Amino acid sequence: MNFSVLTIFPEMVDPFLGYGIIRRAIEQKKISVSSVNIRDFAKGRHRVTDDKPYGGGCGMVMKPEPLSAAITHTQKNTPDSHTILLTPQGRPFTQDLAHDLSTLPGLILVCGRYEGTDERICHSLIDSEISIGDYVLTGGELAAMVIVDAVTRLIPGILGGEDSAEKESFENGLLEHAHFTRPQMFEGDEVPEVLLSGNHKEIDLWRLESSLMRTLLKRPELLEEKPLSRQEKEILKKWGRQIETLIHV
């Protein structure tokens, strides 16, 4: 997978590439990440990339010409890539969308700055718009890195354990179960006994219950969207009965 990050601050991208799984993925040539400086495509002595908005108002708008030249140049170099504009008005970025993007040969991530991007860029050169959340950042760079990170770890062969990506939060509509490691006792708090039992059926059941409980308590809206298995329904009914008893004593 080839990522191209189009930005007026390419220095922001490089430090992010030097650590952990992303660094390893680059070393193993599973991904490549190149930053393209939009300013290099701006004309004139001052290489200006922004201008005042037509119609007045505060803030500046990204000029179309340098952005268009930078995107066209990058699209020519990586013709199969999908071009994404990072903007708070885009489609919400989710684990499902990360999966879809991880199957593509390349992503061109266009980072907006200032108040916005000239609308004509979106009409002609952008395949999709993505937002990483309902808040406004000062630019799309952090959003681009979030996408590089979340997509990279889904590319086959990137994560260590065969199934580490399948069993984690959001992959089956639930948050992931609780985790424990040594020591067995930490500040008076003990690891659940079943996890030491070696009984994998019991451990799987405990993990499913832990997943369901965390989702119910922390992100109950996820359960409304998820088709529940018979086993999951049984667990929830059992808790329902236990809660009923508590209420009526």
Chain residues binding ligand ADE by CB under 6 A are: 86-88, 112, 131-133, 135-137, 140, 143
Task: Specify the residue, 89 or 231, whose C-beta has the smaller distance to ligand ADE.
Answer: 89
Task: Select 17 or 144, whichever has its Cβ closest to ligand ADE.
Answer: 144
Nearer to ligand ADE, 131 or 215 (CB): 131
User: How near is the Cβ of 2 to ligand ADE at its closest, in Å?
Assistant: 21
Query: Shortest Cβ distance from residue 62 to ligand ADE (Å)?
Result: 12
Q: Work out how close the CB of 159 gets to ligand ADE at its nearest, in angstroms, rounded to a whole number.
A: 25
Question: Which residues, 6+ apart, have CB-to-CB distance to 79 below 8 Å?
Answer: none
Contact of 61 with 49, CB cutoff 8 Å: no
Q: Give the nearest distance from C-beta 156 to ligand ADE in angstroms.
A: 27
Listed in order, strand segments (DSSP E) in the chain are 2-7, 32-37, 50-51, 61-62, 82-92, 106-111, 116-117, 128-131, 185-186, 189-190
**How far separated are the first and last CA of the chain, in Å rounded?**
59
Looking at beta carbons only, is 111 or 235 nearer to ligand ADE?
111
CA distance 160 to 163: 9
